[in-house]
Amino acid sequence: LFFWNIFVKLGGRDGNGGDSGQRPSIVVAICGMILYNTYCFVFDHVCKEDLRMELTIIHYLVICPLVFLAGFMDAIAGGGGLISLPAYMLSGVPVHLALGTNKLSAVFGASISAWRYTKKGYTPGKISLFCVGVALLGSSLGAQLALRLDDRYFKLIMLVLLPITAFYVLKEKAFDDTKPPLPERKTILICMAISLGVGVYDGFYGPGSGTFLLILLTSFAHLKLRNANGVAKIINWATNVAAVSVYIFSGNVYFPLGIIAGLFNIMGSYLGTVCFEKGGAKIVKPTMIAVVVLFFIKVITEQGIFG
């Protein structure tokens, strides 16, 4: 239903050429059947036996509230992965399984955010479609780079970029909606370049990609904050779907945990979009600063700068 609404709103039409307000029940039913049968096939034939770990109530008590918080933060300013992925690892889920299951739960939240922003008219159709295409390409390239390069290089770059990012966000005119719009063709080209670059980063390393998209789209493409957030959510949804597909078919997703955590992610994302609609830049700035600080601490810790 989320995917159908997104494409209906982007196209502005339903399957019969009428108004996009209609939601053909047959399509929803077919999508449900496909998803259910895909789940049965994947769980029975793709998931590795050793990944069917024994879960306890502790896993859910640790992971689900933090995934809810991650969805809330991600819907406002990105950076939810900085909370959700450590939550899986903190509860004792193996790293490779944590990565895949985290992506599955993130798809749930990304879907509701993309759907709600699209429903509100914050996702320009032409820009979003072009950006999704190049973001998927960038994400694939980034994943290939990740197989050949050490992510230490990206982390070192982040140590320089994150303080600059914090300085920009704290500026009085950050996310200023009064910037004159650029010509449509130039806007699309700039958004595509941003999507390609962030897509490569997302495929290679990932954390904070939604935050970087929001900053770059408002600064260089002169998108209004609401439209920038809408486009960013569409791009994040697409890259998450691509990533989780890889994890599923490599057998690195635990579905029961990912689906339940995903429901919490949906609730957090929904509340986050509501808060964004009411608060705008006033709520984005402090949330984004929190994301940058968390990210900076994470990178410093991983690099072992303070021993």
Cβ partners under 8 Å of residue 271, min gap 6: 72, 75
Q: What is the tens place of the pLDDT at every residue in 43-72?
A: 444 444 444 557 788 889 989 999 999 899
According to the model, what pLDDT value does residue 298 have?
75
pTM of this structure: 0.72
Q: Is the per-residue pLDDT at 120 higher than 80?
A: yes
List of residues 6+ apart from 98 with CB closer than 8 A: 85, 88, 89
What interhelical angle do 184-204 and 209-219 show, nearest 10? Answer: 160
**CB < 8 Å & 24+ apart, contacts of 31-39:** 31/1, 31/3, 31/4, 39/255
pLDDT > 80? residue 266: yes
| pLDDT value of residue 139 | 83
What pLDDT shows up at residue 257? 92
Name which residue leads in pLDDT, 109 or 6. 109
Is the pLDDT assigned to residue 198 strictly greater than 80?
yes
